[in-house]
Amino acid sequence: MKSIYLTGFMGAGKTTIGQALATNLNLPVVDTDTLIEQNMKMEIKNIFEQHGESYFRELETNTLQELPVNDTLVTTGGGIVTTQKNIDWMKKFGCMIFLYADPEVILERLENDTTRPLIKQKKKEEIIELFNKRLPLYNQAHIKVDTTGLSIEAAAEAVHNAIKTWNNRQQ
């Protein structure tokens, strides 16, 4: 099976849903942000502060392209889609899935999160503007699953069903 790439805005549930989905699919799960932090031996917010966003995006692209393209579930950072090369890579070598969540729900989830450098000190309107700017990029995915209001288990099941349907169409 080709690798599965979960994309979506920060707070959409990529990591949490990805872990549940990996169990359902019996696949190893790799989180690009976690891998970058391990390789750099620093948190993402510190990478942003010390090296800037463009340096981080290069790390993200390199990390993505070093991962297996078969039998792996990859959870990505919310901004991985800002590099078109990453979208093209995920679509070519796997099944790219956009986990959509309503922006209001995302705002609630991110309210007290201090680990995300791109929303630190931003107003609600600015976060929604960033969401809307990235929406056309996420929408390039093979599959879109709306996770708004779903439990982790229900979201993982919805994604699993969407993958089955997608796989059947590929054959």
pLDDT, one tens digit per residue, over 25-52 is: 999 999 999 999 999 999 998 999 999 9
Rounded average pLDDT over 140-159: 95
44 Cβ contact partners less than 8 Å away, ≥ 6 residues apart: 33, 36, 37, 56, 77, 115, 117
Asked if residue 120 has pLDDT above 80, the reply is no
Half-sphere exposure of 33 (CA within 13 A, CB side): 19
Asked if residue 115 has pLDDT above 80, the reply is no
pTM summary value: 0.93
Question: Is 18 in contact with 73 (CB distance < 8 Å)?
Answer: yes
Taking the C-alpha atoms of residue 141 and residue 102, their distance in angstroms, rounded to an integer, is 17
pLDDT over 70, % of the chain: 94
Q: Which of 137, 37, 25, 27 is nearest to 78 (CA)?
A: 137
Total domain count, the chain? 1
Q: What angle do CA 34, 36, 40 make, to 5 degrees?
A: 120
Question: Is 106 in contact with 116 (CB distance < 8 Å)?
Answer: no
Asked if residue 113 has pLDDT above 70, the reply is no
CATH value at residue 92 = 3.40.50.300
Asked if residue 21 has pLDDT above 60, the reply is yes
Please, where are the H alpha helices in the chain?
14-25, 32-40, 44-51, 53-66, 84-93, 103-110, 124-138, 152-170
